[in-house]
Amino acid sequence: MRAIGWGIVHLISFPLVLIGQGARRLGSLLFGSLVRRFDTSPRWSQTINSLSSSMATQRGLLLLIGTAIVMASLLVSALVIVLLVAEGHFNRALYWLCLPAALLHLGVLLGFTGIMLAVPLGQGYKDR
C-alpha cells in the first residue's frame, strides 16, 4: 500500500520535475555565457571583496539605512494621507484605515532600534 502512495506522489510530481529541468536547461542556454563571464570577472571579484571588507568594519550601516528608509516611508505615507484628506478626496475614515500601516512602520522602527542597541549595550543584568 505504501508503494502505491509513493507511486502516486511521483506521478503527480513528474510534470513539475520536467518543468524544472527544462527551465534549468533553458536558463543555461540563455544565460550560461553571461554567468561564466560574471563568475570569472576580476573586476566583480574585487568589487565584492572590497564591499565585504568595508561592510565588516561598518556592521550597523545596513540597519541605519533600513531605519532611514522606513522613517522616510512613514513620513511620506503620512504626508500623502493628510494631503488627500485635506483636499477632500477621501473622508476622515481613511485615517482609521491607515492606522495599521503606521503601527507596522513604528514596529519595524522599534525593532531596528532594538537590534542596533542590543550589541552596544551588551548582556543584561539578569543574563549574567
Residue type, 43: R
pLDDT at 3: 63
Closest to 115 measured CA to CA, from 59, 73, 77, 74 = 59
Percent of the chain with pLDDT over 90: 0
Extract the C-alpha cell encoding 90.
477621501
CA max distance for the chain: 69
38-80 pLDDT, tens digit each = 778 888 888 888 887 877 777 777 788 888 888 888 888 888 8
pLDDT at 1: 52
What does the chain come to in residues? 128
The pTM assigned to this predicted structure is 0.51
Distance CA 92, CA 98 (A): 11
Closest to 65 measured CA to CA, from 27, 116, 128, 122 = 116
Extract the C-alpha cell encoding 114.
532594538
